[in-house]
Structure 1
Amino acid sequence: MTLDEDELLNHLMRLVGIRAPIVAAAVLQLIVELRRAMIFDEDAVERIKEAIVRAAVQVRPSHTHVADFEIQLRTKLDRLFAASEAPRP
């Protein structure tokens, strides 16, 4: 079974821990569109991901270690952005 694009996006957002999927999908699509229009460069996207990590660390489960949580979240965000920016068929 393969995941279609929307299912993959939804799955990755849940993995990242984004709680408001409609807003998250809209923000993610906005970032992708601004990248495609060359308004956002890679540094801007990295700053956005860093802001997401900083906010998520504040509400992480108390049983998780901060450094481990940050590494896992950054990895998941990288996958999410890579999947969102992949060329569409």
Structure 2
Amino acid sequence: MEPTETRKLRESIDLLGIRAHATAVGMIQIAIELRRAGVLDEAAMERIKDAMLGDIMLSKPPSADAVEYEASLRRRLDALFAGRESFGSKPPAFLRPGG
């Protein structure tokens, strides 16, 4: 999704009040279940992750290197969607104080 489209989608979601972590966890689990059932292929999973990544990148801390930040987020999204990472693990180093 283009940044402009992502901003519009974020504004619509904000207006609906859909900002809770529970919503994101549920959406990730739905995507995992649909992939396991053969409803979503890898290309669809990548588009879902790309949409999430695009929105998260809008909030990139100014001090964070964009390439490193995006690569780290993509690795974490890949792990979440593969079921290899829990939803409550510690944040990446660049989001931790002193990281």
User: Which TM-score band (shorter chain)?
Assistant: 0.5 to 0.7
Q: Residue in 2 aligned with 1:39?
A: 39
In structure 2, what is the Cα distance between the partners aligned to 1:74 and 1:44?
15
Which protein, 1 or 2, shows the higher relative CO under an 8 Å CA cutoff with sep ≥ 6? 1
Q: Percent identity?
A: 39
Could you list the runs of 4 or more consecutive aligned residues of structure 1 that deviate by over 3 angstroms after TM superposition?
Answer: none
- Displacement of 1:44 in angstroms is 0.3
Aligned length: 66
In structure 2, what is the Cα distance between the partners aligned to 1:79 and 1:36?
15
| Structure 2 alignment gaps of length 5 or more | 1-18, 85-99
Q: Deviations over 1:31-73 (max 9, x none)?
A: 0111122110011001111111111111111111111111000
Cα RMSD between the aligned structures? 1.5
Q: Residue in 1 aligned with 2:92?
A: none
- Displacement of 1:26 in angstroms is 0.6
Q: Deviations over 1:11-39 (max 9, x none)?
A: xxxxxxxx732001110111011112211
| Structure 1 alignment gaps of length 5 or more | 1-18, 85-89
1:10-89 correspondence runs (5 A): 20-83=20-83
